[in-house]
Structure 1
Amino acid sequence: MAIVASGQITLTDLNDTKQLMMYIGASQSRTVVYDGLSSYTPDYSTSNQTLTPQLYIAGDNTNVAQDVSECKWFYQDNGANSPIEITQNTEDYTLTSIGTKGLKSLVIKNNVLSSRTSMTYICELIYQDIESGLNITTKAEIEIVKITNGLNGTSGKDAIVGVLTNEVANVLSNSKGEVTSLEGASTQLTIYKGVIDDTDNWTISQTRQNVVVTEPMSSKTATVTSLSADVGKVIFKATKSGYPEITKVFTINKVKSGEDATSYNLIIDTPVLALNQTKDSFNPMNITVSARMQVGSFEPFDYPTHFSVYESVDGTNYVEKYVSSSDEYSFVYTPSSFEIKALKVKMYLEGGTATVIDEQVIPVVTDGADAVYVNVWTPDGNAVKNDSDVVTARADVYNGVKVVSASSYKWYIQDESASSTSGGDVDSGEGWRLLNDDYNMGITGYTTSKITIPADAISSTEAFKCVVVYNGNSYSGVTTVVDMTDPIIVRLDGMDKFKNGEGTITVRATLLQSGLEVDASGTEGFMYEWFIYDANNNKTSFYKKGKVITVNATDINGRGNLVCEVNK
């Protein structure tokens, strides 16, 4: 049987604790380009990377991170058994206090990716819910990735690419459109000559629409301090003798609070396309594009809409090459030429191409012959329909531009309860469960470069990770598979509070699909399993089955999360 949906509510003796949403902001690009010799762009040793946590209570636009009582930072690199806590300042890191309580930012002072392909940083915050008096622990993570490029043997004129650290920012406002937070409303223009930062050799000017910016018009940086309309723009123009003009646009949108506050996110599986030295192959060879939507404080979900793709041979002027014929959740696009300098992808409001709601530029850089990269993708598409199809996921290992064979392949499915010692292994990292003979959900090929995933193994959206070993080193990649049928939502109905540690409550699991209840009588073949996790997120001995259950006050200690998993 496979889990088709799950839901949870928090039970307390006082008042229900609040739902928290946590993010980590980065002051520099999270993709570091290495020239294969000694140069890093951005260079964290001269332009420090500062990671700052942000914390919001669901339904409120106020950042409450400065009210936390404790803040811990960890890092985890490739192959590590478990995250390593950063407890003091070192030559690589500085912990900087923010405010008078426990909040800290993490400053990365060196090029920590010199011997790694990626690093994951984890921040753990403890926030006290004033109403219940309980301490809530929440975590978020952010990944830094290195792309290695080769300069030796590269001939011809270096490509000129302009990149913004942030192309679209969604800022919080109340229902009247009054901006309540401008966090994240900043960007910086970087112009690459090949893989070298050539920005300071260009003349930059800014044109501003509906915004006030801190920096002068000639700055490469724009920090927005005021937004007078629902949409604002900062248009960068960069000129240099002998080169075409570069134009980049930074767009700022208001996200209004209230029941109908909605945000959209364009997702592209690679930040750049790497062109080999002989200019006859990209790495990866194509891009996978998808869209997500979030309404209010509810969980994000896959969003069907129109997309368009533009190609540029000079990094400035773009020609449309693809547009959706109808609303779609995702698609795979292969560039039409190895002469292009950049791709631009646009996402529109559902139903057509009248309103652009997000866009992203993917620059082309020159790849080195010794770069190793794992491209995990779905060659026949990443969606199943009507619970009847199968999806094939494949891991292609590149050494430079050549596809090579790894000595071993291991596949994982995302599972937040899994760890390196429980369900995963030393290569998985936190939140990934190893597929093997004992746990596979009908998925086959999990020790090879290709797996076949049946529809009943996919609950709405599932992520799969492949870890390969090549020349004694481990490399990994991730792909996402979606179920195009309407997902089943579990709503738990019943009281969520006890008083004075006494009494019982009755909770019913209601299954909703497209807004309508399914399995109302409990006779449609679904199995309901119930668990309770304590305040430290440890599973207790509580276990029950059934569509309707009774919970005693003695089953929780102060606070507990009641979880229902529905199988079929």
Structure 2
Amino acid sequence: MALLATSQITIVDLNDAVSLQSYLTGNVPKVQFVTNNGMYTPDYTNSPATITAELYRLGSSDNLITNNSRYVTKIEWFYKISPAVEWTKIGTDDVRFTLGGTSPKFHSVSINQNLMTLENPGIAIKCEMTYKEDWMPEPHIQKSEMDLSLTVQGDDGTDAYTALLTNANHTIICSSEGAPEPGELGEDGRAQSDVLVYKGSKLLTAVANTVQPRAGQFHYKILSSTGCSAARKDNDTFYISNLTTRQKSAGANGANVTIEI
């Protein structure tokens, strides 16, 4: 008797459908601090938190939003302040926010006030990008979200140290062959992150990793990297110089960098 084995192979033609990747990037850390006397760091009233939308087709490094693609027909922004569960659309008449660009394609939103409090310690921002090519019977709505949170300094005890990465989870855009697109890697590429360290609400100063930090200072070292090569750009920034894995997912199957502060 013959032993038969069967299996199934799924073939997908990427030309039959459009695969999109979207991101929201910010100009400030995702954690805001407030002291006992009500001082915010960073203070959005003096330095608004600006969140910018990016939209790419799979295998391309061209930002469809900055390139003003005709296929992107509308961009809308929404927010919800914890503990709210419903999204509220951001309009041009809301003085707490400033929409960047022109209607109906607002490419960014700025938060002009310190909206988070002890009772409402979080705010979520959502962007909905409407995309439609000529052959598509219905438009596609691409959604991306960003969460911001508030840390309140306690009344007693020693200030806590908080370390943040401005680009903690980055998706490297690659071609269909798995090669990183131009502008992704290297010292001036998108795959880089600033290292921020706070003591309480005070931002510490980054120094070279060859010197011993004094009061109010810190330094970082790159301990290891998996699936990639990382290098220091300066005292508070590192970047990905080379990608050695072809895995598409992050985490254990992707690439990661471990730093010591």
TM-score higher than 0.5: yes
* CA root-mean-square deviation: 3.7
TM-score for both structures, normalised by structure 1: 0.34
Q: Is 1:265 aligned with 2:250?
A: yes
Q: Deviations over 1:434-463 (max 9, x none)?
A: xxxxxxxxxxxxxxxxxxxxxxxxxxxxxx
Correspondence for 1:116: 120
Do the aligned residues in 2 keep the contact of 1:54 with 1:63 (CA within 8 Å)?
A: yes
Correspondence for 2:199: 193
- Aligned equivalent of 1:94, options 88, 94, 98: 98
TM-score for both structures, normalised by structure 2: 0.66
CA change 1:137–1:179 in 2 (3 A) is closer
- Residue identity over aligned pairs, in percent, reads 21
Q: Secondary structure at the match of 2:47?
A: coil
Q: Deviations over 1:447-493 (max 9, x none)?
A: xxxxxxxxxxxxxxxxxxxxxxxxxxxxxxxxxxxxxxxxxxxxxxx
Correspondence for 2:38: 38
Do the aligned residues in 2 keep the contact of 1:126 with 1:138 (CA within 8 Å)?
A: yes
Matches within 5 A, 1:389-428: none
- Offset, 1:123: 0.9
- Offset, 1:117: 1.5
Of structures 1 and 2, the larger Rg is shown by: 1
Do the aligned residues in 1 keep the contact of 2:61 with 2:181 (CA within 8 Å)?
A: no
Q: Is 1:358 aligned with 2:257?
A: yes
Correspondence for 2:4: none
- Aligned equivalent of 2:239, options 251, 255, 267: 251
Q: Deviations over 1:350-396 (max 9, x none)?
A: xxxxxx733367x8xxxxxxxxxxxxxxxxxxxxxxxxxxxxxxxxx
CA change 1:358–1:231 in 2 (3 A) is closer
Q: Is 1:148 aligned with 2:152?
A: yes
Do the aligned residues in 1 keep the contact of 2:161 with 2:197 (CA within 8 Å)?
A: yes
Report the Cα distance in structure 2 between the residues aligned to 1:23 and 1:135, rounded to whole angstroms.
19
Report the Cα distance in structure 1 between the residues aligned to 2:57 and 2:34, rounded to whole angstroms.
39
Aligned length: 221
Matches within 5 A, 1:139-218: 139-150=143-154, 152-154=155-157, 163-166=164-167, 169=170, 171-174=172-175, 175=177, 177=179, 179-182=181-184, 184-199=190-205, 204=207
Report the Cα distance in structure 1 between the residues aligned to 2:111 and 2:54, rounded to whole angstroms.
18
Do the aligned residues in 1 keep the contact of 2:31 with 2:151 (CA within 8 Å)?
A: yes
Report the Cα distance in structure 2 between the residues aligned to 1:168 and 1:104, rounded to whole angstroms.
21
Letter of the structure 2 residue corresponding to residue 129 of structure 1? E
- Offset, 1:190: 3.3
Q: Deviations over 1:513-565 (max 9, x none)?
A: xxxxxxxxxxxxxxxxxxxxxxxxxxxxxxxxxxxxxxxxxxxxxxxxxxxxx
Correspondence for 2:217: none
- Offset, 1:124: 0.8
- Offset, 1:43: 2.4
Do the aligned residues in 1 keep the contact of 2:73 with 2:131 (CA within 8 Å)?
A: yes
Q: Secondary structure at the match of 1:45?
A: coil
Letter of the structure 1 residue corresponding to residue 203 of structure 2? D
- Aligned equivalent of 1:78, options 82, 92, 100: 82
Report the Cα distance in structure 2 between the residues aligned to 1:163 and 1:78, rounded to whole angstroms.
22
Q: Is 1:234 aligned with 2:232?
A: yes
Correspondence for 1:106: 109
- Aligned equivalent of 1:138, options 127, 136, 142: 142
Do the aligned residues in 1 keep the contact of 2:51 with 2:110 (CA within 8 Å)?
A: yes
Report the Cα distance in structure 2 between the residues aligned to 1:24 and 1:44, rounded to whole angstroms.
18
Letter of the structure 2 residue corresponding to residue 187 of structure 1? S
Do the aligned residues in 2 keep the contact of 1:21 with 1:57 (CA within 8 Å)?
A: yes
Report the Cα distance in structure 1 between the residues aligned to 2:250 and 2:193, rounded to whole angstroms.
18
Report the Cα distance in structure 1 between the residues aligned to 2:153 and 2:142, rounded to whole angstroms.
37
Report the Cα distance in structure 1 between the residues aligned to 2:80 and 2:52, rounded to whole angstroms.
17
Report the Cα distance in structure 2 between the residues aligned to 1:56 and 1:143, rounded to whole angstroms.
21
Q: Secondary structure at the match of 1:172?
A: coil
- Offset, 1:116: 1.1
Structure 2: any 5+ residue segments left out of the alignment?
A: 1-14, 211-227
Report the Cα distance in structure 1 between the residues aligned to 2:258 and 2:124, rounded to whole angstroms.
26
Letter of the structure 2 residue corresponding to residue 62 of structure 1? D
Do the aligned residues in 1 keep the contact of 2:99 with 2:106 (CA within 8 Å)?
A: no
Do the aligned residues in 2 keep the contact of 1:169 with 1:251 (CA within 8 Å)?
A: no
Letter of the structure 1 residue corresponding to residue 28 of structure 2? Q
